[in-house]
Structure 1
Amino acid sequence: MHALIHPWGTLTLYRWPRQRNEALQAWDNADRYLLNTLSERASVGGETLVVNDNHGALALAASAAGGVVASGDSWLAMDNIQRNAKANQIPSVPYCWPGEDLPGAADQVLMRVPKSLALLEAQLSWLSMQLAEGVPVWLSGMDKHLPRQLVPLLETYLGNGQAEYGWKKARLFSAVAPGKVLAEAPYPSHVEGPMGPLVVHAGVFSQQQLDIGARFFLDHLPEGLANDARVADLGCGNGVIGLAVLQQQPGASVTFCDESWQALKSARENVAGYFAEASVAFHHGDGLQGLEGRFDCILLNPPFHEGHAVGDHVARRLFRQASQHLAKGGELRVIGNQHLGYHKLLRRLFANVQVVGSNRKFVVLSCREPK
């Protein structure tokens, strides 16, 4: 728990899902810089569009000054905002997913600069379509995370933009909406998969080519799955692993799971393009949470970062979920970098952990018999 003092009051903010001995707080000085800017420069009582808020610092504080709509790609970020709203006895915040139309006009925009340049480009192009001419757009991020080409990107998509003063290792950027589309972002892109070109929407991992981890995983997928096997592609990204399962075993039922809206959009389009008649489902949420039933096989290439935060906390959470969602006799198959030592974590959850493939960089592990 951390208390954020902002221009209109105080918020108690958590990072969800909660972790024991959480060391990271749910806001930083870039959030504070944006809130101070809103207080000093925005029209009183205006409608604020908040983009890429991770835990509610921006959306919930701004809701004390006027109407708010939040937007972003992450289900976990959306869930954090709503959970923290409830914890602070604030009404839930309307949420807009990438590409959707805003429910109403925005008078100003507060935007955290996302880690993905592709997502940033797509969002700036979207803002040019959604905002009336002259609407101010304020962006911020911590200095160590900001891309060098931010001002040129603002000029490309909004027609203007400038870097303002730094403050406590954060920096503010500002622009005004042109009221028309000046440039369309070059996304989705396409990568070559085992069945042909795959759609990859902005912000999805491995934007320009199939990553080497996925390629190695494709060579070490389970063989001999039952014709009616129930399979989960956990953290599916563009869906290439689940698609490979459908290519090998067309009778399988595959559930594509990801917390990224853009990832699931990519997977949906790729499934529709290659296996339109297959038995599939799509789950937008925290891993396997909220899904009923159990799986005969769960396939996972876990991320070792969440935004700019690096660590194994996401992998740990997904490993636990997988151990709870396996059917009797089922298998979790995981790929990871050798140095991450996932076998140590997995042996706490599974009685049988075996190496089924490895090279100098990656290891593929087969995990059975949840403890």
Structure 2
Amino acid sequence: MNTEFLFADRQLSLIRYPQKHQHVSLQAWDSADELIIEYIENLQSESAVAITQDSPLAIYNDDFGTLGCWFSYLKPLWISDSYIATRSLKENLAGNALLDNASDHASFEPVTVLTSVQPLPLNSNQTPSVVVIKVPRALALLEQQLIDLQPYLTTQTRVIAAGKVKSITKSVLALFEKYIGETTTSLAKKKSRLIFSTPRQDKKQHTSPYPTRWECKGTSGVALTLDNLANVFSRQSLDIGARIMLEHMTVSSNDVVVDLGCGNGVLGVNALAIAPDCKVIFVDESYMALESARLNVLNNFPDKIGQCEFVASNCLENLIAREPRPKVTKVLCNPPFHQQNVITDHIAWQMFNDARELLMKSGHLVVVGNRHLDYHIKLKKLFGGAKVLASDKKFVILGTAKR
């Protein structure tokens, strides 16, 4: 993996967390980051903006912390829905000696880090002077972020977004026009471009359409009510993999279940429907996913919230690192096959490795996935084999036990 970021007479060493699982062809920055850096540095050199504590720089969706590291000297607000992005930022700040207090493992100072479900820590007298947004994969996430920003913007706030040319669609520009104001774009450079949006004077505060809500039937036939925040996978309906998993789930009351890559938590909530006395640990790298899962336990089984835990983690590493480890007997998994805009199988591979590490002896991993992904090959290498529990033309459920 290329880790040396050389730009504008400055060098940073930057990794994509977790570094050991990344393909050698990947890097932590892209040309959109370079366009943002160049533009804001020019604003600074021309004294065109005054970035202060009361008028800070706000950075959204910084994939692996490149912008947070570069602009750390400006003490920015840094907002992300991704635990992995947040962990990447921490590793990169530490790796470039940019932390104010390296001995404080919880601190990101001089960067103020916020999750996507936290409000900006600004009062009525404070407003961002510059807002930078990396255009995310999910338009719903972008829409939610623009709605969240509305109360904090003035006509003097500079709103700058960036992304690959192919990601800056008419739909993206329409969201900026709707929620911010007049919007233009730069010329393309290195297959990326900037978006400039000017907050309108007669701004109207919009109501968020999120979370979206729908119902589905669990294994026991009970109707489950599911809320989905903006960045949740398959936000508008039950995805096919989860549907087939619901039809074939088995859980007992003495199980400690991990819903790994939980999304809206439908598998874990269904586990509570099947076995009301089981314990469920919801794990995801998306803060909106974990909040959706929490809401959905409260929606359906509010008296069971004490049996549940919601953990932001890269796969299962934060549970594995605990002392003592939770005594997990079953891991349910519907693995993703992309990270940001990159298609990859390293996440599924780490999920399976981590499940093997965490599970109690004789504990079970149950995986659902597209047939063409050939998860049975990976599971055979790690567990010695896997059994087909159910299948259709497109998906297969595989089960395996830790020996």
Shorter chain as normaliser: what TM range?
over 0.9
Number of the residue aligned with 2:400: 367
Partner of 2:11: 10
Equivalent pair of 1:7/1:39 in contact (CA under 8 Å): no
Q: Is the 8 A contact 1:191 1:207 kept in 2?
A: no
SS in 2 for 1:367: strand
Structure 1 runs (4+) greater than 3 angstroms displaced: 177-182
Query: 2:258 is paired with a residue of what secondary structure?
Result: strand
CA deviation map 1:142-192 (0-9, x unaligned): 112333312211111112211222111101101133475442331111122
Kindly state the Cα deviation for residue 215 of structure 1 after the two structures are TM-superposed: 0.5
Residue 328 of structure 1 aligns to a residue in which SS? coil
2:146 maps to 1:124: yes
Matched-pair contact (CA < 8 Å) for 1:227–1:252: yes
Is 1:338 aligned to 2:371, yes or no?
yes
Contact in 2 for aligned 1:127/1:177 (Cα 8 Å) = no
Report the 3-state secondary structure (helix = DSSP H, G, I; strand = E; otherwise coil) of the residue aligned with 2:234: coil
Structure 1 counterpart of 2:349:
316
- The match for 1:26 among 25, 28, 37 is 28
Q: CA deviation at 1:45?
A: 4.8
Amino acid in the other structure paired with 2:281: T
Q: What residue in structure 1 maps to residue 41 of structure 2?
A: 39
| Whole-angstrom distance in 2 between the partners of 1:207 and 1:24 | 28
Deviations 1:251-295 (A, max 9, x none): 100111111011011111110111112111111121222222231
CA distance in 2: counterparts of 1:100 and 1:90, whole angstroms: 24
Aligned match of 2:216: 193
Separation in 1, partners of 2:200, 2:346: 41
Does structure 1 residue 218 correspond to structure 2 residue 246? Answer: yes
CA contact (8 A) 2:360 2:402 kept: no
Cα deviation, residue 314, structure 1: 0.6
Whole-angstrom CA distance in 2 between matches of 1:62 and 1:356? 51
Q: Is the 8 A contact 1:50 1:70 kept in 2?
A: yes
| 1:6/1:35 contact within 8 Å kept | no
- Which amino acid in 1 is paired with 2:337? F
Name the SS of the counterpart of 2:336 in structure 1. Answer: coil
* Structure that is richer in strand per residue: 1
8 Å Cα contact 1:137/1:174 also seen in 2: yes
Secondary structure in 1 matching 2:347: helix
Question: Cα RMSD over matched residues?
Answer: 1.7
2:289 maps to 1:289: no
Does residue 73 of the first structure (1) align with residue 101 of the second (2)? no
Q: Indicate the percent of aligned positions where both proteins have the same amino acid.
A: 34
Instruction: Please name the residue that 1:142 is paired with.
Output: 164
Matching residue of 1:49: 58
Deviation at 1:231, TM superposition (A): 0.5
Q: Is the 8 A contact 1:264 1:284 kept in 2?
A: yes
Alignment of 1:94-113 (within 5 A): 94-104=112-122, 105-113=127-135
In the alignment, is the contact (CA less than 8 A) between 2:210 and 2:230 conserved in 1?
yes
- SS for the counterpart of 2:248 is coil
CA distance in 2, matches of 1:188, 1:45: 33
| Structure 2 portions without partners, runs of 5+ | 100-107, 218-222, 320-324
Once the 2 structures are TM-superposed, how far is the Cα of residue 330 of structure 1 from its aligned partner?
A: 0.7
8 Å CA contact retained: 2:379, 2:385: no
